Amino acid sequence: MIQSLHILQDCAYFLTAVLLCLLSAIILQHKKNRSQGSDPSLGEAKKKAKDRSSGGKLIEWTPIDFKYPAITPCNMELADIKPIPYRPFRWGPYHVTMGIRSMNWDDWIELDNQYDRYQRIRAHRILTRDEKVVRVLDDIPRVVRGGGQAAIELVHELAEYLSKRYPLSFRVTRHSPETRSKCQFGWEGAPPIKTITVVPLNATHELPLDLHDGECAAKRAMTISALLVQDDLAIMIEGRDGRHYFQAGAICVPGFWQMEHKIGKTLDEIHLSGHVPQYQEKLQPSLERFFRRLSVDKPVVRNNYFIQLVGSRSDEKLDPDELAWSYTTNGPEDGFEHGDRFAPHDRPEPRPEILRLRTERQTLRRLPKSGAVIFTIRTYVVPIEELVKEAGVAGRLASAIESWPDEVVEYKGRERLGWRRTLMEYLERNDDIG
């Protein structure tokens, strides 16, 4: 019999909720850092980060020559790596605090045997939607820097990491040693990476070194980043007013929101416009202060979940699970307005075979050179019919869904999408499986 208990989770499947949830991690990490003392290799930069968050005049970010921990090679072909079965729901009371944990550097980017399929979808989205999915904003004078320099730093960070973590799947060439004095993106004192080859796709990308390295260098860097990983990527830049702005992104498979509605906004604007439950009551007053305290050496990770419906579309062969855009949930992507989530349209009656568990694995880290804050958002879509085959999962999921408070019910569309009764009955019937 499925128990009716509560769950420790929020509903952060949009980028807005990514920011909200990861804030809790920043708070926990800050407390931990204070108790453990400073890392000598980051001492001065950490001191300035603390000064920035204590009020008064804004102190510009100081670039850090960060020494990364050794990355453990994963000596497997991507085709042999199974997706990690994240199931971010459990028995227990509902709280605002998230299931946050520190992130091991080995786990920054997780790739698996879905890589080819994801990249076909992502490449199609970039080709057909262009700046609606990949965009880099310019400077806003006297307000905030553009996202270009951070975008270039990010693609070098990804290339360094992927070539070390997945050596069978990513190969790099480097510039001459003389380039090292002009550009210090190379890890461990090496010259910066010139090209990266994605072996499974037989695709080679040349990385720009700076904003003037060829036409649209920043956007090229952001596009390459999107074509290297299965994650969506968002870059937040601290402005002169001490607030963080969403200044660049590669948001190819968000499912339920559009980058054009978020790009250029501050954290507060993103949260408030997204109607994130309990944001104003719990976290708004201290969000920016803790965001500024995020340290380069303390990345964090968390997961969330959502129930999604899928239907029959013209692009069914390319994206049958509606990874990129949930048409069945929200209707046509073109013409979608911010706030139109779950708007009525001709969606199919909920049936177990069209229900999916959609989960996100989200990481948050700060880049050492630009000081930009990077979000990665990896999405997994699992058929409910497959999910219930796992021991104990049906009962836990049912308990979680039944425990949502009213604002979470609305935010996740439990009643408006009409799947609650169908899913709960199906989970009840399959509670003993496994």
**Taking residues 26-30, what's their average pLDDT?**
44
Instruction: Please state, rounded to an integer, the average pLDDT across all residues of the chain.
Output: 84
Indicate the residue type of 134.
V
Q: Which two tokens stand for residue 320?
A: 């049958």
Question: Is the model's pLDDT at 297 over the cut of 50?
Answer: yes
Tens of pLDDT, residue by residue over 304-341, are 899 999 986 656 789 999 999 999 988 888 888 776 77
Q: State the CB neighbour count (10 A cutoff) for residue 2.
A: 15
Closest CA to 249 of 145, 152, 122, 135: 135
Residue 58: per-residue pLDDT = 58
Question: Please, what's the b/e burial string for 54-77 (b: 16 or more CB within 10 A of its CB; e: otherwise)?
Answer: eeeeebebeebebeeeebeebeee
Q: 122 near 229, Cβ under 8 Å?
A: no
Residue 182: per-residue pLDDT = 83
Residue 10: per-residue pLDDT = 39
**Taking residues 402-423, what's their average pLDDT?**
90
DSSP label of 266: B
pLDDT band, very low/low/confident/very high, at 342 (cuts 50, 70, 90): confident
Indicate the residue type of 105.
W
Q: 291 near 23, Cβ under 8 Å?
A: yes
State how far the Cα of 163 lies from the Cα of 170, in Å rounded to an integer.
Answer: 5
For the ranges 54-58, 192-196, 225-229, the lowest mean pLDDT is seen at 54-58
Percent above pLDDT 90 for the chain? 62
CA 16 to chain centre: 11
Residue 331: per-residue pLDDT = 87
Position with higher pLDDT, 345 vs 237 = 237
What SS3 class is residue 222? helix
Tens of pLDDT, residue by residue over 246-267, are 999 999 999 988 999 999 999 8
Question: Is the model's pLDDT at 27 over the cut of 50?
Answer: no
Overall size of the chain counted in residues: 434
Tens of pLDDT, residue by residue over 150-197, are 999 999 999 999 999 999 999 999 999 998 878 889 999 999 999 999
Question: Is the model's pLDDT at 228 over the cut of 80?
Answer: yes
pTM value is 0.87
pLDDT band, very low/low/confident/very high, at 433 (cuts 50, 70, 90): low
**DSSP labels, 268-328:** HHHHHHTT-TTHHHHTGGGHHHHHHT--TT--EEEEEEEEEE----TTTTT-TT-SSB-HH
**Taking residues 256-283, what's their average pLDDT?**
73
